[in-house]
Amino acid sequence: MNHHYCPLCFAEIPVAVELCPACGRNIEAWERQTPYYDRLIWALKNPHSEVRMGAILSLANQKHPEAAGPLAECALDYPVDVVQGMAVLNAIDHLPAGTEKRQALEKLCKHPAHAVRVSAQERFDRIS
Ligand SMILES: [Zn+2]
């Protein structure tokens, strides 16, 4: 089953509504006025894991170096979600090398999930 969520307040909403019934804001206008990259970064805070996962995959394709920090925060916000943590690491692999990437991997070396921590450390060692 497909769920639709307000991109602003993250409430579940009916398909194709212009105003969110939960927060009352104009979803269509927000989507039109907010750059795609900014919407993806905001979506990393969505409580629904499938929305976050979509944003993680899209950010990998966008290849903005500054996405590394928010991606790492997203992984750390959900310490038990190993699948998402590994997806974040794969997304960071796609980003250009630089300070943002190194700092994000350094943060993820302290991730509570063992698998994420070990993979982050491997990547960090490779680029250091
Ligand atoms: Zn809303």
Q: Are 43 and 99 part of one and the same domain?
A: yes
Centre of ligand 1 to C-alpha 38, Å, is 17
Centre of ligand 1 to C-alpha 91, Å, is 28
pLDDT in tens, 45-84: 999 999 999 999 999 999 999 999 999 999 999 999 999 9
Q: Are 100 and 63 part of one and the same domain?
A: yes
Q: Are 78 and 101 part of one and the same domain?
A: yes
Q: Are 30 and 49 part of one and the same domain?
A: no
Which amino acid, residue 90? N
pLDDT surpasses 80 at 33: yes
CA 92, chain centre distance (Å):
11
Q: Are 78 and 51 part of one and the same domain?
A: yes
Query: How many folded domains does the chain comprise?
Result: 2
Q: Are 84 and 106 part of one and the same domain?
A: yes
What are the residues whose beta carbons fall under 8 Å from the beta carbon of 53, sequence distance 6 or more?
Answer: 84, 87
What are the residues whose beta carbons fall under 8 Å from the beta carbon of 60, sequence distance 6 or more?
Answer: 90, 91, 93, 94, 95
Q: Are 60 and 118 part of one and the same domain?
A: yes
Q: Are 13 and 51 part of one and the same domain?
A: no
Centre of ligand 1 to C-alpha 10, Å, is 6
Which sign does the torsion angle of CA 94, 54, 43, 109 carry?
negative
Cα 20–Cα 28–Cα 49 angle in degrees, nearest 5: 65
Of the chain, the percentage scoring pLDDT greater than 90 comes to: 93
Centre of ligand 1 to C-alpha 26, Å, is 8
Q: Are 74 and 120 part of one and the same domain?
A: yes
Q: Locate 112 and state its tokens.
A: 């509570």
CATH of the domain at 66: 1.25.10
Q: Are 40 and 17 part of one and the same domain?
A: no
Centre of ligand 1 to C-alpha 19, Å, is 8
pLDDT surpasses 70 at 1: no
User: What range does the domain containing 10 cover?
Assistant: 1-34
